[in-house]
Amino acid sequence: MKKHQILVIGGGLAGLRAAIEAKERGLDVAVLSLVYPMRSHSVAAQGGINVALGNRRDVGEDNPEKHSFDTVKGSDYLADQDAVETMCQEAPTRTYELNHWGTPFSRMPDGRLDQRPFGGADFPRTCYAADRTGHALMHTLYEQSVKRGILVYNEWAALSLVMADGRCRGAVALDIATGAIEAFAADAVVLGTGGVGRIYSLSTNAHINTGYAMAMAYWAGVPIKDLEFIQFHPTALPGTGILITEGARGEGGYLLNNKNERFMRDYAPTKMELAPRDIVSRSIRTEIDLGRGFEPGVVHLDIRHLGKERIMEVLPGIREICLKFLGFDPADQPIPIVPGQHYTMGGIDTDVWGATPVPGIFAAGECACVSVHGGNRLGGNSLLDTVVFGQRSGQRAADYVLGLEAPPHGQAALQSALKQEQERVAGLLSRDRTHLPAAIREKLGQTMFDQVGIFREPKPLQGALDTIHQLQKEYPGVGVGGKSRRFNLDLLRTLELRGMLDLAEVITLGALARQESRGSHFRRDFPERNDRDWLKHTLVTYSARGPQVSYRPVVVTKWQPQERKY
């Protein structure tokens, strides 16, 4: 049996930052990741990281308080304001740390970090490395983890968290290369496992972002918070879902309908294309539904007026995506776009230290819900979330482990969990299947996209819930076609599907219950926000009788809810 003091599951920005912190505090830390860390979805982040440095003095003054207010307003007042203030105040420290560790940020002529405008922000406060910010940050943190000798279990899939006497004692994981299943004893587990985007059929997320690991926390007893808040990014490519960064609009790109109008004038006259994502996505969907889109159901993002030189300097990745996937240069033609699933605002319930209500389980980054994004995340705040709360969760997990009176013994629980997962996998490999996992997955993705998407109504939501329940009933009849144990991705996808179904149920239950519109959750039958009844977080807890829904008040410190106008 493998053993570490802290097992970090996830090698993206949040997981690596947590591992670095715990290692700095002298603990035996290992990272376990489905993919080599550099292939985590964080590497795909394009536009930048928000931090109130106030470097753009040419346009006014900025400070963490203004950043906090923009974040709270952007969240449609669902974010916990104490958590938002923590994140925005720690942003400069974490960003300078990345800078000193070697991130090649784009700079102003005088050498200070440049900052670009982003959606929902009253000031240009997004630091960036051209349009490959995630790539640059991942290299920085990966280098720092190598420098500290942090052990990484590459291409291992965590299958379950192990509990004994109410504490987490480690995890069971599958070695994808060999098919071996092993138990990992750990005094604490930090989850940095990313979002659940692939539950939806059109998503900007990597294929590994299924949310399975979030479901592991759910099954272990941690409540899942606000999962009905799913962000649709306004500008994804139709068909593939490949993202075109908000930075394209930050740099001055327009959205146009088939009448050649900048239609955002009708929806957000002040902020126009740089209104928050929930508003821009609904506006685009409305234009397309009213017949003002282009074939095949898209609108245009036009950056031609920026000129080739500027595009090559600040949006080189976007140009490359257009050349490779659309066959033209965006300096010559407008880009066809549609809104696509992009971000998971909700997730594993944690406090501002990444601690969950279950001792020994910590979480940070997109899989966690602190909550700093509330009903709608502002672009650039997620990269910030990963490093701020990654650092904090690593610190708190280390404190927790150092404070344990006697090293916990979970041997019996680990052995029994190992046996259970071995039997589960053996069952999938041996039985004759009555249902194809791929068919269930496809049906799930389409149902979520069509019925639990940008606009929501009770009948389609109830229909989606019925479909999910039906698919959950079919799941025990699935089996795996290829029987090999080595790199059996069919097996992995089939295992993940169980978690995707349970989380889809959590999303849909929350959406059906929440009779108001707030942030990304828009109910046509309740189009207004209702602070009297719904200024509260949804918590869904797993139980053998089915999911249990409860609520918790939002933390309001300085900013009383106001109408959100842009």
Ligand X SMILES: Cc1cc2nc3c(=O)[nH]c(=O)nc-3n(C[C@H](O)[C@H](O)[C@H](O)COP(=O)(O)OP(=O)(O)OC[C@H]3O[C@@H](n4cnc5c(N)ncnc54)[C@H](O)[C@@H]3O)c2cc1C
Rounded to a whole number, what is the distance in angstroms from the first to the last CA of the chain? 56
Query: Residue 140 or residue 386: which is nearer to ligand X going by CB?
Result: 386
Q: How far is 73 from 76, CA to CA, in rounded Å?
A: 5
| 209 sits near ligand X (criterion: CB under 6 A) | yes
**Residues present in the chain in total:** 566
Span from 29-37, 219-227, 415-423, 510-518 in contact with ligand X (CB under 6 A):
29-37
Span from 30-38, 143-151, 316-324, 392-400 in contact with ligand X (CB under 6 A):
30-38
Q: How far is 90 from 84, CA to CA, in rounded Å?
A: 10
Query: Residue 55 or residue 145: which is nearer to ligand X going by CB?
Result: 145
Shortest Å, Cβ 260 to ligand X: 28
Span from 275-283, 353-361, 381-389, 391-399 in contact with ligand X (CB under 6 A):
381-389
CA angle 338, 339, 345 (to 5 degrees): 165
Q: Which of 157, 298, 370, 500 binds ligand X (CB under 6 A)?
A: 157
| 12 sits near ligand X (criterion: CB under 6 A) | yes
Q: Are 33 and 58 in contact (CB under 8 A)?
A: no
Query: Residue 316 or residue 546: which is nearer to ligand X going by CB?
Result: 316
Query: Residue 10 or residue 293: which is nearer to ligand X going by CB?
Result: 10
Span from 19-27, 73-81, 178-186, 365-373 in contact with ligand X (CB under 6 A):
365-373
| 361 sits near ligand X (criterion: CB under 6 A) | no
**Which residues, 6+ apart, have CB-to-CB distance to 476 below 8 Å?**
none
| 281 sits near ligand X (criterion: CB under 6 A) | no
What letter does residue 325 receive in the DSSP assignment?
A: I
What number of chain residues touch ligand X (CB under 6 A)?
45
Q: How far is 548 from 156, CA to CA, in rounded Å?
A: 31
| 208 sits near ligand X (criterion: CB under 6 A) | yes
- Exposed/middle/buried for residue 546 (C-beta within 10 Å: 0-12, 13-18, 19+): exposed
What letter does residue 555 receive in the DSSP assignment?
A: P
Q: How far is 211 from 441, CA to CA, in rounded Å?
A: 13
Shortest Å, Cβ 286 to ligand X: 24
Site for ligand X in 226-245 (CB under 6 A): 243
Q: How far is 138 from 17, CA to CA, in rounded Å?
A: 10
Beta bridge partners of 284: none
Please provide the DSSP assignment of 122-146 as one string: SS--EE-STT-HHHHHHHHHHHHHH
| 382 sits near ligand X (criterion: CB under 6 A) | yes
Query: Residue 213 or residue 512: which is nearer to ligand X going by CB?
Result: 213
Span from 206-214, 289-297, 312-320, 449-457 in contact with ligand X (CB under 6 A):
206-214
Residues designated as active site: 233, 249
How many Cβ atoms from other residues are within 10 Å of residue 143's Cβ?
Answer: 13
| 11 sits near ligand X (criterion: CB under 6 A) | yes
| 339 sits near ligand X (criterion: CB under 6 A) | no
| 391 sits near ligand X (criterion: CB under 6 A) | no
Distances (CA, A) of 564 to 15, 77, 231, 454: 34, 9, 17, 18
Q: Which of 268, 335, 383, 497 binds ligand X (CB under 6 A)?
A: 383
Q: Would you state the torsion angle of the CA atoms of residues 268, 270, 272, 277, taken in this order, to the nearest 10 degrees?
A: -60
| 494 sits near ligand X (criterion: CB under 6 A) | no
Q: Are 98 and 142 in contact (CB under 8 A)?
A: no
Query: Residue 293 or residue 380: which is nearer to ligand X going by CB?
Result: 380
Q: How far is 157 from 179, CA to CA, in rounded Å?
A: 10
Closest CA to 8 of 185, 188, 167, 273: 188
Q: Which of 103, 145, 205, 350 binds ligand X (CB under 6 A)?
A: 205
Shortest Å, Cβ 460 to ligand X: 26
| 386 sits near ligand X (criterion: CB under 6 A) | yes
| Binding string, residues 108-147; x marks residues near ligand X by CB under 6 A | -------------------------xx-------------
| 250 sits near ligand X (criterion: CB under 6 A) | no
Q: Would you state the torsion angle of the CA atoms of residues 309, 314, 315, 320, taken in this order, to the nearest 10 degrees?
A: 60
Chain residues in the site for ligand X (CB under 6 A): 9-15, 32-35, 37, 40-42, 44-49, 133-134, 157-158, 192-194, 204-205, 208-209, 212-213, 243, 343, 365-367, 379-383, 386
